[in-house]
Amino acid sequence: MDQPELLQRMATAADNKRAEQIVVLNMQGLSLITDYFMICHGNSDKQVQAIAREIKESAEELGYTIKRMEGYNEARWVLIDLGDVVVHVFHRDERLYYNLERLWGDAPEIDVQSELLL
C-alpha cells in the first residue's frame, strides 16, 4: 500500500469516530522523523481514545506494525508512529495549545477531507 492510500485510510478511520479538523502535512524535506503528519482532535478523553484505537486497528488490519503509541491512557495527545506516517490525536484543548499546524507552517497540506465527504 502506498502512502497516499495509507493516509486516506487513517483519515477515514479517524472520521469514523468523529475526529474533527483532520489535517495531513507533507513533512518530506522538513523533518527527518517522518514523511507525513496526520493531526486531528476529539472533544473528550473517551473520544480521543476511540479515535486512536480505530486508527491503530485499521493500520494493523492493513498489515502495518505500530512502532510506538504514546499518551493513550492520558488521552490528551496520543501519538501513533507508523514509520512514514505519524498520527497525532489531540484533545481539543491540547491541539489549540500546541498548534502543530502553525509550528510546521512550511509543510504543504494534503487534502484528505474531500475524500471523506464522498
pLDDT in tens, the chain (118 residues): 577 788 999 999 999 999 999 999 999 888 888 889 999 999 999 999 999 999 999 999 999 889 999 999 999 999 999 988 999 999 999 999 999 888 888 888 888 766 555 4
Going by the DSSP 8-state scheme, the letter that residue 113 receives in this structure is H
Task: Give residue 106's pLDDT.
Answer: 84
- pLDDT computed for residue 107 by the predictor: 85
* pLDDT computed for residue 34 by the predictor: 87
Answer for the pair 1, 80: CB distance below 8 angstroms, yes or no.
no
49: number of CA atoms within 13 Å, CB side? 7
CATH superfamily membership of 3-111: Beta Polymerase, domain 2 (3.30.460.10)
What is the pLDDT at residue 51? 98
Q: 40 and 7 in contact (C-beta within 8 Å)?
A: no
pLDDT at 102: 85
pTM exceeds 0.85, yes or no: yes
Write down the pLDDT at residue 30. 86
Provide the pLDDT for residue 20.
Answer: 95
Name the residue ranges covered by the structural domains of the chain: 3-111
